C-alpha cells in the first residue's frame, strides 16, 4: 500500500518543480524564474575570470562531522542523528535556501573578476544588478515559493509583491549564514542595508578555537577538497535537489577515487552523519542520472534482504558517479524521477536495480 505521507511530499515537490519552470519573473520579460536564474549564472561565468575552471572547489569539512573519530563502542544506529553534525546541517530548514545560497556564493567568488582570494572573502557581485545587462546575487537564487510575481500578499495594512518577498527571503538567508558562522556582516548593527559589504568565511563553519577565517578558494591539489562540476550550477541541480540529496552527492564526491564507491553504514554515520533517512535519497540521484547503483542481489526494494542471515551481512551498495548526467536540465530529470516514483508506473531505486526480486514476489 502506498505511503500517503510520501505521496503528499512527492505531490508538493512536483508542484514546486512545475512552478519553477512556468512562473515568470515579470509580465514583459521572457522565460520562467528558473530559466532566468540559469541564464544569470551562465552570464556571470562568461563574463568572469578567464579561463574559467570547470569545477567549483568545496572544502570537504562542510559535510564532515567535526569529530568523526568517535569511540568504537558509540551507538552508530542507522536510525538516529548523531551529536556533532556536519556544518552543512545548520543550513537545512523547511522551505529554506541557506544551503543553496552558500554553494552559489562559492560559485560566485570563484568566478568573479579580480583576486577574490586576496580580498579576504569580499563578495564583489552586488545584491541587485545596477542595470538590465548586469547580474546581481538576487538573480542567482531560486526562492522556495513561486507564485504569480504580480500577485500581492496582504498582511494587515501591508502590501507585499513577490519581488519584495524574494528580497526578504534573501536577506533572511544572509542572516542565517551570519548566525551559523558562514559569513561576516560588519554592518549588521545598521537599521538598513545590514548585509551590504558582507564577507564570506570558510565554508567549514565556526572554528572550535580561534577567530573565524575569511574565505580563500582552496587549492585543487590540496587534500580535503571536493571538485564540483560547474554543470551542477549551470543546469539547475543546486537549485532543485533537496539539501539531503546534495549532502549525499557531495559525500560520494568526497569518497570518489575514480571508480566504484562503497561506504558502510557505520562509516557513513560516523564521518558524515548520514543515517538511513538521508541515505535513502540516493534513489532520486540514480533515476535522475547522476549516479549508478549496484546492490546486493537479494535485497528487496524496501531495503530488507531475502533469507536474511545475521551471521552474513548483505553487501553494501556500490555507487558510481555519472557526471555526464549533470549536463542535462535538472528540472526535467528531477520531475521525471519524482513522477515515476509517485505514479508507480516505473520502478525506482532497488526495485529498478533488482527487478527479478520484484517480479517473483520475494
Q: How many CA atoms lie within 13 A of 361 on its CB side?
A: 0
d(CA 284, CA 159): 39
- What would the grid cell of residue 126 be? 552586488
Q: For residue 13, name the pLDDT band (cuts at 50, 70, 90).
A: confident
Dihedral sign computed on CA atoms, order 162, 166, 172, 176: positive
**Looking at the DSSP assignment, which residues form a beta bridge with residue 59?**
225
Dihedral sign computed on CA atoms, order 32, 34, 35, 40: positive
DSSP run (H or E) holding 158: strand 158-161
Q: Are strands 158-161 and 152-155 parallel, antiparallel or unpaired?
A: antiparallel
CB 23, CB 147: distance < 8 Å:
yes
CB 292, CB 320: distance < 8 Å:
yes
Q: Are strands 318-321 and 291-294 parallel, antiparallel or unpaired?
A: antiparallel
Most confident of 168-182, 264-278, 286-300: 168-182
pLDDT digits (tens, 9 = 90+) for 339-348: 887 666 544 4
228 C-beta neighbours (distance < 10 Å), count: 22
pTM: 0.85
Q: In the chain, what are the domain boundaries?
A: 4-359
Q: How many CA atoms lie within 13 A of 207 on its CB side?
A: 9
DSSP states of 65-117? -S-----TTS---TTSPPSS--GGGGG--TT--HHHHHHHHHHHHTTSSS-GG
CB 231, CB 330: distance < 8 Å:
no
Most confident of 24-38, 167-181, 284-298: 167-181
More confident residue, 357 or 51: 51
Average pLDDT, rounded, for the chain: 79
Please tell me the predicted confidence (pLDDT) of residue 43.
94
d(CA 54, CA 45): 10
φ/ψ of 124, rounded to 5, equals -85, -25
CB 141, CB 128: distance < 8 Å:
no
More confident residue, 304 or 245: 245
Q: For residue 304, name the pLDDT band (cuts at 50, 70, 90).
A: low
On the question of pLDDT at 326 being above 90, the answer is yes
Lowest-confidence segment of 33-42, 219-228, 345-354 by average pLDDT? 345-354
Of the chain, the percentage scoring pLDDT greater than 90 comes to 39
CB 233, CB 56: distance < 8 Å:
yes
Q: Under DSSP, is residue 119 helix (H, G, I), strand (E, B) or coil? A: coil
What average pLDDT does this structure show over 128-149?
A: 79
Q: For residue 1, name the pLDDT band (cuts at 50, 70, 90).
A: very low
d(CA 78, CA 255): 19
Q: How many CA atoms lie within 13 A of 40 on its CB side?
A: 25
Please tell me the predicted confidence (pLDDT) of residue 59.
96
More confident residue, 233 or 314: 233
Amino acid at each position: 500500500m502506498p505511503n500517503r505521507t510520501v505521496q503528499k511530499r512527492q505531490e508538493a515537490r512536483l508542484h514546486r518543480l512545475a512552478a519553477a519552470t512556468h512562473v515568470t519573473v515579470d509580465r514583459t520579460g521572457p522565460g520562467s524564474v528558473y530559466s532566468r536564474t540559469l541564464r544569470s549564472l551562465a552570464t556571470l561565468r562568461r563574463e568572469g575570470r578567464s579561463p574559467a575552471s570547470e569545477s567549483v572547489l568545496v572544502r570537504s569539512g562542510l559535510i564532515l562531522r567535526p569529530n568523526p573519530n568517535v569511540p568504537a563502542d558509540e551507538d552508530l544506529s542507522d536510525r538516529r542523528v548523531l551529536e556533532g553534525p556536519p556544518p552543512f546541517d545548520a543550513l537545512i530548514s523547511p522551505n529554506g535556501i541557506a544551503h543553496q545560497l552558500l554553494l552559489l556564493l562559492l560559485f560566485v567568488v570563484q568566478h568573479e573578476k579580480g583576486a577574490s582570494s586576496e580580498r579576504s572573502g569580499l563578495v564583489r557581485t552586488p545584491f541587485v544588478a545596477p542595470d538590465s545587462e548586469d547580474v546581481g546575487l538576487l538573480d542567482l537564487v531560486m526562492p522556495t515559493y513561486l507564485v504569480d510575481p504580480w500577485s500581492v500578499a496582504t498582511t494587515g495594512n501591508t502590501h507585499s509583491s513577490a519581488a519584495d518577498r524574494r528580497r526578504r527571503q534573501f536577506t533572511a538567508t544572509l542572516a542565517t549564514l551570519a548566525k551559523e558562522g558562514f559569513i561576516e556582516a560588519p554592518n549588521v548593527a545598521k537599521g538598513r542595508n545590514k548585509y551590504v559589504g558582507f564577507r564570506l568565511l570558510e565554508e567549514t563553519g565556526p572554528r572550535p578555537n580561534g577567530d573565524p577565517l575569511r574565505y580563500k578558494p582552496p587549492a585543487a591539489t590540496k587534500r580535503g577538497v571536493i571538485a564540483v562540476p560547474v554543470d551542477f550550477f549551470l543546469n539547475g541541480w543546486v537549485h532543485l535537489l533537496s539539501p539531503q540529496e546534495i549532502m549525499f552527492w557531495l559525500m560520494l564526491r568526497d569518497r570518489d577515487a575514480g571508480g566504484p564507491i562503497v561506504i558502510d553504514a557505520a562509516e557513513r554515520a560516523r564521518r558524515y552523519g548520514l543515517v538511513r533517512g538521508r541515505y535513502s535519497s540516493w534513489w532520486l540521484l540514480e533515476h535522475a542520472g547522476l549516479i549508478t547503483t549496484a546492490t546486493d542481489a537479494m535485497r528487496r526494494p524496501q531495503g530488507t534482504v531475502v533469507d536474511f542471515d545475521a551471521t552474513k551481512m548483505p553487501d553494501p551498495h556500490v555507487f558510481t558517479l555519472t557526471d555526464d548526467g549533470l549536463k542535462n536540465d535538472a528540472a526535467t530529470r528531477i520531475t521525471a524521477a519524482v513522477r515515476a516514483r509517485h505514479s508507480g508506473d516505473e520502478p525506482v531505486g532497488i526495485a529498478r536495480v533488482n527487478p527479478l526480486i520484484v517480479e517473483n514476489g520475494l
